[in-house]
Amino acid sequence: MKKKEVRRKIVEAPLSKRVFAYVVDWYLGWVFTALPVAYMWTVISQKAEMNMDITLFESPYGYIAGILGILFGIIYYFVFPLISDGQTLGKKFLSIKIVGENNEKLSAKNLAIRQILGVMIAESSFILAGNYLAQMIGMITFKEVGTIITYVMLAGFIISCIMVLRKQRAIHDILAHSKVIEKNTD
């Protein structure tokens, strides 16, 4: 007796789910990325207050805090979807996932391009890890350079939003040859 092959229809995630997942991931990613920086600030300053500005740390602690924050961002935005079927926590909550244009699992390389280069850097004006990167560049060069980079990231975010509204594909989707689909349809 032959087993009948079941093919399910692939449905791209609606814009509303993508936006809500982005908001959830923005918040959770921000909290996770902030953990090492907030902890270092509390230990070093001996004050029970939150500080997310790594430029306020004395050298070399600002660099260390920035690198740790970026690493925690990479864990949230890249490692977690890598090990959980293309889903960040926001995407998991909304039953959507990242796949390649061919509807197959996105390779680690393309997921890294999408999540690190696209989401965390090119479109990262609201992603804390991207802000840490801009702050660190400003610390190495001049503060104004970091500010300019932040504005470039904001422009990338705005362009990406326009692209999603028009064609359901953001800069990070184009860079990584990816798309977001309904999880229960694969």
Residue 45 token pair: 């300053």
* Beta strand 178-182 pairing with 96-100: antiparallel
Instruction: Please report the pLDDT score of residue 161 as a whole number.
Output: 82
* C-alpha triplet 117, 121, 123: angle, nearest 5°: 105
Pull the structure tokens for residue 116.
């690190």
What is residue 117's predicted lDDT score, i.e. its pLDDT? 85
Residue 56's identity, in one-letter code, is: L
Tell me the pLDDT tens digit for each residue of 174-185.
Answer: 899 999 999 874
CA 35 vs CA 27, 46, 51, 171: distances in Å: 13, 16, 10, 28
pLDDT-derived band at 39, boundaries 50, 70, 90: very high
Q: What is the pLDDT of residue 160?
A: 85
Give 55's DSSP letter.
Answer: G
- Please give the Cα distance from 84 to 96 (Å, whole number): 12
User: Is 50 exceeded by the pLDDT of residue 29?
Assistant: yes
Give the contacts of 144 (CB within 8 A, at least 6 positions apart): 138
Question: What is the predicted pLDDT for the residue at 142?
Answer: 83
Q: Is the pLDDT of residue 38 over 80?
A: yes
- The model's pLDDT over 44-68, given as tens digits with 9 standing for 90+, comes to 999 888 888 999 999 899 999 999 9
Average pLDDT taken over every residue of the chain: 89
Nearest to 121 by CA among 130, 112, 113: 130
| pLDDT (average), residues 95-106 | 94
**Cα–Cα distances in Å, from 73 out to 78, 93, 182?**
8, 19, 25
What 3-state class would DSSP assign to 4?
coil
Q: Terminal CA-to-CA distance of the chain, rounded, Å?
A: 25
Do residues 116 and 72 lie in contact, with contact meaning Cβ atoms separated by under 8 Å? no
pLDDT of res. 7: 62
Query: What's the confidence (pLDDT) of residue 186?
Result: 44
Closest CA to 127 of 180, 78, 85, 92: 78
Give pLDDT tens digits for 105-150: 999 999 999 999 888 888 877 788 888 888 898 889 987 888 888 8
Nearest 5°: phi and psi at 82? -65, -40
